[in-house]
Amino acid sequence: MPSSWLRTAGEPAWIMGVLNCTPDSFSDGGNFVVDTVNAGAGIDINAAVQHALMMRDQGAVMIDVGGESTRPGANPVSVDEELARVMPVIRALSSYNVNISIDTTKAEVMRQAVAAGASMINDVSALSDDPDALSVVADTGVDVCLMHKQGMPKTMQDNPAYRDVVSEVKDYLGMRIEACLQAGISETSILIDPGIGFGKRLGDNLALIASIEAFKRAFGLPVLMGVSRKSFLGMITGSDAQAREIETAAAVSACIFNGCDGVRVHDVASQSKAVAVGSALRDAHLGLS
């Protein structure tokens, strides 16, 4: 049975909305942080939940909740701090029957988030940073997105280098997929993400976007692309992170045209239009329109 996350021809690519419960994420850090600690590590739970519900109403089929910034230069946080940031929000969202993804590399955060209602794990380390992560996914049976990164967020953009970025990312994801299968994770539960901006130069990011079809041919798995507001777009146009929605729309449409199944974005209302255009262009390219 094919994965439910593969885009169906004639339908738009699906959207994952970003909900960062952090003070330091690169473009929206601090949006839901308050000065007091009455709402779980200073998180304004009501504001976070209302933003998530708005994204769902605008077309997001999955809300990706994160409590640790993975932007270039970010410092790690403890398990307890991450749990304090995300768990009140996940519990609240679960009461609204929202599809929740937990954006974490920590097995304990994964375990508690799934118990509270998360149905997907989005791990920028492809379940490699925490030795217990594979077993958590296997035991719970939730979906998992495996992402490629080179290095750790604190230093990953210091001097990234590849001989052939597409082949190296493909080889890495292939190894992580095999590790998942060996751990008892169902193939239909796996999504992949080439990791735009995670230890990549401008040319690396562009090459990966242009080669999405190669990942689809290699694995036959759903591809999720996260290009929203990222610095490579600013390198092209000079725009600051908060002013990159037009650039994001161009990249989102290109990703879908090149074969991705879903996109992870901050501004769902704006990017749903780019998704519609990119999906129509992809169908026309395949002779399906």
User: Annotated catalytic residue: which of 176, 229, 264, 282?
Assistant: 264
Tell me the CA end-to-end span of the chain in Å, nearest whole number.
25
Alpha-carbon gap, residue 27 to 32, rounded angstroms: 13
43: β partners: 33
**170 belongs to the catalytic site:** no
Based on its alpha-carbon atoms, the radius of gyration of the chain, rounded to whole angstroms, reads: 18
**200 belongs to the catalytic site:** no
User: Annotated catalytic residue: which of 111, 170, 229, 230?
Assistant: 230
The answer to whether residues 249 and 273 touch, using CB atoms and an 8 Å cutoff, is yes
Q: Which residues are catalytic?
A: 230, 264
